[in-house]
């Protein structure tokens, strides 16, 4: 008599197939055909040019919009302000109280943040209905990136200090530094805080751009914004708003 362990009989071992143990074999082609291959994210030169063109006036719009915030506040405080390409001359007949001065200085950054927030809201609304980048999406992303101003200013200030092209006193002339000093904070405290918030806002904005178009959008946005900044701060701005 042959003794056989009840769990070692041949008919108790499940068959091994391409699809696993104990199941019927299935064609591998059927499974491979269902694999989703994500589109390759490459930079499209034509789209780069179009995005850069839209972002070209962003520096002028952002700068003038920022200064208009100062202009409106100065006018509301009873002054006779004059708008320049990158500043405002308040021209107040009497010395303003400290609170009024702080309001006038804060109005520029607050106006820029408000504009950027409107752009973010419209970009979010656009993203709910679109899966590829179009002109409207580029325009709303440009407005949303008005939030990038604190980051740009902080990088420029630190760079100028590191290269020896500016002194510590020179960095006290921007809005955030003046507000920091008035509030008894370190000179760069408010600028760094605003820059940290701005990084989050800009990151959120970039994530709203469809992934397949994001590298192209980023290259075009940076190229257009930097070129526009050079043009506005160079020959065009002083000519139009001296």
Look over the chain and give the mean of its residue pLDDT values, rounded to a whole number. Answer: 87
C-alpha to C-alpha distance for 109 and 65, rounded to whole angstroms:
10
Instruction: Please give the model's pTM, rounded to 2 decimal places.
Output: 0.81
Q: State yes or no: pLDDT of 81 exceeds 90.
A: yes
Residues 6+ apart with CB under 8 A from 65: 111, 112, 115, 146
Give the lowest-confidence range in 28-37, 77-86, 174-183. Answer: 28-37
Report the residue count for the chain.
242
Query: Residues 85, 240: contact at Cβ < 8 Å?
Result: yes
Query: Residues 34, 204: contact at Cβ < 8 Å?
Result: no
C-alpha to C-alpha distance for 221 and 232, rounded to whole angstroms:
16
Q: What is the mean pLDDT of residues 190-194?
A: 97
Predicted confidence at residue 41, as pLDDT, reads 61
Q: State yes or no: pLDDT of 20 exceeds 70.
A: no
Query: Could you give the residue ranges of the DSSP H alpha helices within 128-188?
Result: 135-144, 149-163, 175-182
């Amino acid at each position: 008599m042959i003794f056989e362990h009840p769990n070692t009989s041949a008919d108790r071992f499940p068959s091994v197939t391409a699809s696993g143990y104990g199941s019927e074999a299935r064609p591998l082609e059927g499974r491979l055909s269902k694999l989703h291959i994500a589109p390759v994210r490459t930079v499209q030169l034509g789209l780069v040019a179009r995005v850069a063109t839209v972002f070209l006036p962003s520096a002028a719009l952002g700068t003038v919009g920022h200064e208009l915030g100062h202009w409106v506040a100065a006018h509301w405080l009873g002054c006779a302000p004059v708008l320049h390409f990158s500043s405002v001359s308040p021209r107040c007949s009497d010395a303003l109280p400290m609170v009024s001065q702080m309001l006038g200085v804060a109005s520029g950054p607050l106006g820029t943040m408000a504009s950027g927030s409107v752009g973010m809201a419209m970009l979010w609304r656009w993203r709910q209905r679109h899966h590829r980048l179009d002109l409207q999406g580029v325009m709303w992303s440009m407005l949303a990136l008005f939030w990038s101003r604190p980051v740009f200013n902080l990088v420029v200030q630190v760079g100028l200090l590191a290269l020896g092209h500016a002194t510590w006193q020179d960095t006290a002339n921007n809005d955030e530094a003046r507000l920091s000093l008035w509030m008894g904070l370190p000179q760069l405290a408010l600028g760094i805080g605003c820059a940290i918030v701005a990084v989050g806002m800009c990151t959120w904005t970039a994530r709203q751009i469809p992934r397949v178009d994001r590298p192209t959008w980023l290259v075009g946005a940076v190229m257009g914004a930097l070129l526009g900044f050079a043009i506005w701060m160079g020959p065009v701005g002083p000519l139009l708003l001296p």
